[in-house]
Structure 1
């Protein structure tokens, strides 16, 4: 008897039947039956069961859809909810799906990735419905008051991911100190890396939900790399010398700089004594900082002179741009600083330096340190990268300041009236 064509429906049905009758197919059939009673056995609700099903869906090239249906069925049972909360099913699932190589390398057009992300969203939505019920609210609050340390940690992490209603979040995280438990986990990185990773994920999800906005969402990165400084500088006579504290000097064209900056314009052409001098002392500025200011005044947005600047120069430019009334330069530099928070080697220096004074950020209601904290909470980056950055801060002397700032940021948003 001839075999049916490879792409024929008959052949597909035969292959599907073989898969259903395979050992894995029978195991999934048994698990499916065990997931149907109203009161499900505790072994079915153990995180190990979830991990096996999810890893099967991730690693198998063409998994049986029954595995996903089992998880969805479990998520629709109210008696399963506290088991999911107490064992942190959703934080593990979210981390596992995001850290999967296909998600990182093929973020678009991967059907398997789309199916997994859809499954995660369905599970979170289903569990959230029951997590916000009066029964689960009471159980979570009771665990936070009288539970063991581990129970408190698991509830705090899961509540921050699953609960959406702000009033309920305030009750669990503020009234019953769930947020403090969550922040304590962040400070205890060395005890349990997986627990720390879940806590970082919860803080990020919670921050995004309550309205924390990263600076990179407010400001567009500057893409103009043209340099106008050299052309303009060479086309006009250098009739003024700026002298710095370190003895270095920079020659400029007086009129060009005066027209570009109201502060320099008042200094060079107003009634000040500097207006008639050929050399003017510019105190408290370093040579690299003044160089960037002049590039900006000549019309440069982000030319080669801006690239590779040390953190100390960038922080100086934040203050100088505010002092000289240069809001565009201030925004550009602040955007660069917050973006550099992605650099594990620089994040601690940036955050510690931003704490030393109140650096103002034009176009934002927040100081630079708050913008950096917001970026580290909800800025666009992978979970793996966020954990790396938080780990670096937790190992530094700024650990307590950072955790306190994260807590203040999230708490203030939670307490806002809507």
Structure 2
């Protein structure tokens, strides 16, 4: 195998690299072939030319290495009354596009230090009935004002785009606990084969400035490689990522995960072999 990976044509090298994760489980040999003889790089390159075969091979490799789906349990609300959580509106926000979002001044002041300073401090907004607020959509702000004072998953939007904006906005409004909760909801309920590319791209761009999001791309790669779904869905999701602006980042992250997991897999493999003989 090593000889063919060194001397054969590109087509033969690709064929060998595609089949390696399907037939070899010995960790030292896998490490040598994947990294020492560049089979992993060839396999990742094949994602663009032989997508279905390459995705199937990578899925098998991730499974062999024991990579886990990072998705947590889905939170389900069965007892709260959303309407009873909403207080009467007595403050309005005017957004960049001219739209208006109504909210309750007291609940915002109680739940958010930024709004508390705005409404109770010496700022001009404390005397205004309509406050100008920029760089946020009406959908994001309307949902955010509902969960700032009393959080419940049933008050969150189903749209993953709005949820991702809410993560950024809640961090902007100095609400770290709410930021964490909303991001957790994104990863546990909004992440699917259909939203994978959007969430991955968001994680790459946002994670540079928002520390809580820096692991999102890695979690997305782990999810799409090992979560239970039809093969066609997995291929669709990975194609979406590769067609985006962060395709190189996807390959770098996949490589890092494989390299890291090979180390722990090697220890597990040796232990299992030891038990077989003793």
TM-score normalized by structure 2?
0.76
Structure 1 residues 198 and 295, CA gap change in structure 2 (3 angstroms): same
For the residue of structure 2 that corresponds to 1:241, the secondary structure is strand
Deviation of 1:255 after TM superposition, in Å, equals 1.9
In structure 2, the residue matched to 1:202 is: 57
CA distance in 2, matches of 1:262, 1:164: 54
> Highest CA radius of gyration, 1 or 2?
1
Given the alignment, which residue of 311, 314, 317 partners 2:163? 314
Q: Deviations over 1:171-210 (max 9, x none)?
A: 1100110101111221103xxxxxx433212212222444
For the residue of structure 2 that corresponds to 1:284, the secondary structure is coil
Q: After TM superposition, what 4+ stretches of structure 1 lie above 6 angstroms from structure 2?
A: none
Where do 1:8-23 residues align within 5 Å? none
Q: Is the 8 A contact 1:225 1:304 kept in 2?
A: no
TM-score normalized by structure 1?
0.53
Q: Is the 8 A contact 1:170 1:414 kept in 2?
A: no
Given the alignment, which residue of 171, 178, 181 partners 2:42? 181
Q: Is the 8 A contact 1:161 1:206 kept in 2?
A: yes
Say whether residues 1:389 and 2:240 are aligned partners: no
Deviation of 1:302 after TM superposition, in Å, equals 3.3
CA distance in 1, matches of 2:256, 2:66: 10
Given the alignment, which residue of 245, 248, 254 partners 1:401? 248
For the residue of structure 2 that corresponds to 1:306, the secondary structure is coil
In structure 1, the residue matched to 2:225 is: 377
CA distance in 2, matches of 1:356, 1:141: 38
Q: Deviations over 1:371-417 (max 9, x none)?
A: 322222222323332123334445x3548436524543434425757
For the residue of structure 1 that corresponds to 2:191, the secondary structure is helix
Q: Is the 8 A contact 2:67 2:261 kept in 1?
A: no
CA RMSD of aligned residues (A): 3.2
Structure 1 residues 270 and 328, CA gap change in structure 2 (3 angstroms): farther
Q: Deviations over 1:199-250 (max 9, x none)?
A: 212212222444544331xx222222667553233xx443322232222222
CA distance in 2, matches of 1:267, 1:165: 61
Given the alignment, which residue of 228, 231, 249 partners 2:84? 231
Q: Is the 8 A contact 2:241 2:247 kept in 1?
A: no
Q: Is the 8 A contact 2:18 2:43 kept in 1?
A: yes
Structure 1: which 5+ runs fail to align? 1-139, 190-195
Given the alignment, which residue of 222, 226, 243 partners 2:75? 222
Q: Is the 8 A contact 2:157 2:163 kept in 1?
A: no
For the residue of structure 2 that corresponds to 1:371, the secondary structure is helix
Where do 1:106-145 residues align within 5 Å? 140-145=1-6
Where do 1:85-104 residues align within 5 Å? none
Deviation of 1:142 after TM superposition, in Å, equals 1.8
Structure 1 residues 272 and 412, CA gap change in structure 2 (3 angstroms): farther
Given the alignment, which residue of 106, 109, 113 partners 1:258? 109
Q: Deviations over 1:12-52 (max 9, x none)?
A: xxxxxxxxxxxxxxxxxxxxxxxxxxxxxxxxxxxxxxxxx
CA distance in 2, matches of 1:150, 1:162: 19
Higher RCO (CA 8 Å, separation ≥ 6 residues): 2
For the residue of structure 1 that corresponds to 2:185, the secondary structure is helix
In structure 2, the residue matched to 1:127 is: none
Structure 2: which 5+ runs fail to align? 268-278
Q: Is the 8 A contact 2:4 2:13 kept in 1?
A: yes
